[in-house]
Amino acid sequence: MLLYQSQENSSFFQPSAFLLIGIPGLEAMHGWISIPFCSMYTLALTGNCLILLAVRKTPSLYQPMYYFLSMLSLTDLGLTLCTLPTTMAVLWFDYHHIAFNACLVQMFFLHSFSVVESSVLLAMSFDHFVAISNPLHCASVLTNSVIVRVEMAIVTGATVSLFPVPFLLKRLNFCPEKIQLSHSFCFHADMMRRACADITVTILYGLYVVLSTAVVDSLLIVFSYGLILHTVMGLASPKEWARALNTCASHILAVLVFYIAVIGVSIIHCFGGHAPPIVSSTVSSPSTLGK
């Protein structure tokens, strides 16, 4: 990551607004490009709302797995709604400005929902392990009160870990000539690289958040599935193996989609400095949609 040193004898500069870009080099086609984006947003919103409605209206789905699924859908809705306004404003109305404070708010909620989603996926992997290893006692282990406490802990942890980030960015001196962001929404690493100051503290805190949330969650998910496989291998027949593993298929797919998108965006920002801007925009956009 690039580090910018403060210019000597220069006044503190904080832009009143950042400039957002859509798909670099294809500005003339933003109207057409908005069609698949609008379709993806509509699909994400509709699909997650239907999941919430189905769980709400079906008493047989009042189970731990579906409570966590509902929270995952709410998180996906939050991620989608975070980026929808600015993305469609750029593509539909060619409106590229976002106020500095509004950018900080969008960045905070975008990353907070991402941390929550990672933690919910971990909670779901634990739920699958309990359901497979001890199905008769699953309801007594994961009671409604336990699930509520877990969900509150997830939201609180995400909020507390991300709370300092906007303030760390707000104290930075920004470059007047570098107020154009690389996406159609505000992303922490993207904003940070627009500073003309030493961003070591901001980088280190961002690294701490990533290591303490996404990295730890992903390792624990792998550990959970190791325990699940160990349990499944002890079942009597291959038919029972397939039935047990089939219950995990959708969760594994959700985990892969989430972490592949997150890793892809991180690699682009860390090592893709010489890659065309369109690569960064194209890779990062799907990662903000509901899975």
pTM equals 0.85
Asked whether 286 and 40 are in contact (CB, 8 A), the reply is yes
Lowest mean pLDDT among 58-67, 99-108, 145-154: 58-67
Helix (H, G, I), strand (E, B) or coil at 143: coil
Q: How many domains does the chain have?
A: 1
Examine residue 2 and state whether it is found in any structural domain, yes or no: no
Residue environment code for 249-287, b if the CB has 16+ CB neighbours within 10 A, otherwise e:
eebeebbeebbebbebbbebbeebeeeeeeebbebbbeb
Range of the domain at 104: 17-288
28-32, 49-53, 209-213, 280-284: range with highest mean pLDDT: 49-53
Please give the angle made by the CA atoms of 167, 171 and 175, to the nearest 5 degrees.
Answer: 125
Asked whether 34 and 92 are in contact (CB, 8 A), the reply is yes
What would the pLDDT profile of 264-281 be if each residue is shown by its tens digit?
776 666 655 555 555 555
Examine residue 219 and state whether it is found in any structural domain, yes or no: yes
Task: Show the tokens assigned to 158.
Answer: 């995400």
Q: Please name which of 68, 79, 54, 106 lies closest in space to residue 291, comparing C-alpha atoms.
A: 79
Which pLDDT value is given to residue 8? 41
- Amino acid occupying residue 214: A
What would the pLDDT profile of 3-42 be if each residue is shown by its tens digit?
333 344 457 788 899 998 877 767 778 788 889 889 999 9
Asked whether 173 and 197 are in contact (CB, 8 A), the reply is yes
Examine residue 138 and state whether it is found in any structural domain, yes or no: yes
Compute the mean pLDDT over every residue in the chain, rounded to the nearest whole number: 83
Which pLDDT value is given to residue 31? 82
Q: How far apart are CA 169 and CA 141, in angstroms?
A: 42
Examine residue 5 and state whether it is found in any structural domain, yes or no: no
What would the pLDDT profile of 186-196 be if each residue is shown by its tens digit?
988 889 888 88
Examine residue 67 and state whether it is found in any structural domain, yes or no: yes
Which pLDDT value is given to residue 28? 76
Which band of pLDDT confidence, cut at 50, 70 and 90, is reported for residue 117? very high
CATH of the domain at 108: 1.20.1070.10
Which pLDDT value is given to residue 285? 55
